[in-house]
Amino acid sequence: MGADEGQSAVVSAATRSRTPDATCAAAVDLALAAAEDVAGIGKVGRHLGVEAEGDRLVTHYFECLEPAYRGWRWAVTLARAPRAKLVTVCETCLLPGPDALLAPAWVPWSERLRPGDLGVGDLLPTSADDERLAPGYTGADEDLTEPAEKAEGELPLIRYELGLGRARVLSHEGRTRAAERWYRGEHGPEAPIAQAAPARCATCGFLAPLAGALGRAFGVCANEYSPSDGSVVSLDHGCGVHSEAAVVPSTPEPLPPIVDEFQYEVVQLHPEHTSGSVSDAEPAEDLGHS
């Protein structure tokens, strides 16, 4: 068989497979009975059509009447042997249609997790290839700062990022993500409280600096009256309790009482009896008791 004849045979086979077998396509009642055998009587709706799956192999589609499966279809696949008139049921299943209501695509838990989801007793394992972490010093960070950009006497990045007993430390990607998240947050320079602040955290005495490369832009607030107390703040953040915002005068102690020890005043504790209704000269009257 030549090349042209082989190509014609392939085209003919493809054309036949796209055309539903007439005998199988006509067996609508058989397909309906198979669908009702699985779904139940009254749960299968009208016939929606037939689709060729191959030679003498077709699938009938029926409407699904279950309210929870809106847009789904019952699919019954029928087949017959070559030169046979008997049609048999191959498979019956429920499949989603073009406008079916489907569950959203599955997302791994590690991608669904959000800040604040971790509770008491929960464990969040970190993958070995987490790009936010890197092994102890590898020298990769040293290439990020060009010698021309280093100020005179500035320590190299290796001095900031030594592991000190930790198997892994923040990578450049991890530091960048943290810095961007903190800077855009409520403790960054764009927060409303920072816009109204009298001065910045960089000049506040309550700022506890961070160690490492992040300390160049962030610190921890240590003022118990600040809404940022115990939180990482950017150096250009600020609030109304800046240490140098105003100097409040201290309250003076009360003066001791003044005692005049050079003069005195006579005070009569028991005043003398001057007059009354009974004269002292009259004899005492018997009142009838001893």
Does residue 36 lie within any of the structural domains?
Answer: yes
Q: pLDDT of 216-249, one tens digit each?
A: 999 999 999 999 999 999 999 999 999 987 665 6
pTM reported for the whole predicted model:
0.46
Does residue 181 lie within any of the structural domains?
Answer: yes
Under the banding of pLDDT at 50, 70 and 90, the label for residue 169 is: confident
Does residue 11 lie within any of the structural domains?
Answer: no
Last residue of a domain, one of 96, 120, 143: 96
Does residue 37 lie within any of the structural domains?
Answer: yes
Does residue 141 lie within any of the structural domains?
Answer: no
DSSP string for the chain: --HHHHHHHHHHHHHHHHSPPHHHHH-HHHHHHHHHHHH-TT-EEEEEEEEEEETTEEEEEEEE--GGGTTEEEEEEEE--TT----EEEEEEEEE-TT---PPPP--HHHH--TT---TT---PPPTT-TTEEES--STGGGGS-GGGSPTTPPPGGGT---TT-SEEE-HHHHHHHHHHHHHSTTSTTSHHHHT-SS-GGG-TTEEEPPSGGGGTEEEE--TTSTTBTSEEETT---TT-TTS--PPPPPPPPPPP---S------SSPPP---SS-TTSPPPP-S--
Does residue 221 lie within any of the structural domains?
Answer: yes
Q: How many domains does the chain have?
A: 2
- Where in the sequence is the domain holding 224, given as residue range(s)? 172-234
Last residue of a domain, one of 96, 130, 154: 96
Q: pLDDT of 41-60, one tens digit each?
A: 989 999 999 999 999 999 99
Does residue 160 lie within any of the structural domains?
Answer: no
Q: What is the mean pLDDT of residues 4-31?
A: 68
Last residue of a domain, one of 73, 96, 119: 96
Q: pLDDT of 248-278, one tens digit each?
A: 566 677 778 777 777 777 777 776 655 555 5
Does residue 223 lie within any of the structural domains?
Answer: yes
| Mean of per-residue pLDDT scores for the chain | 80
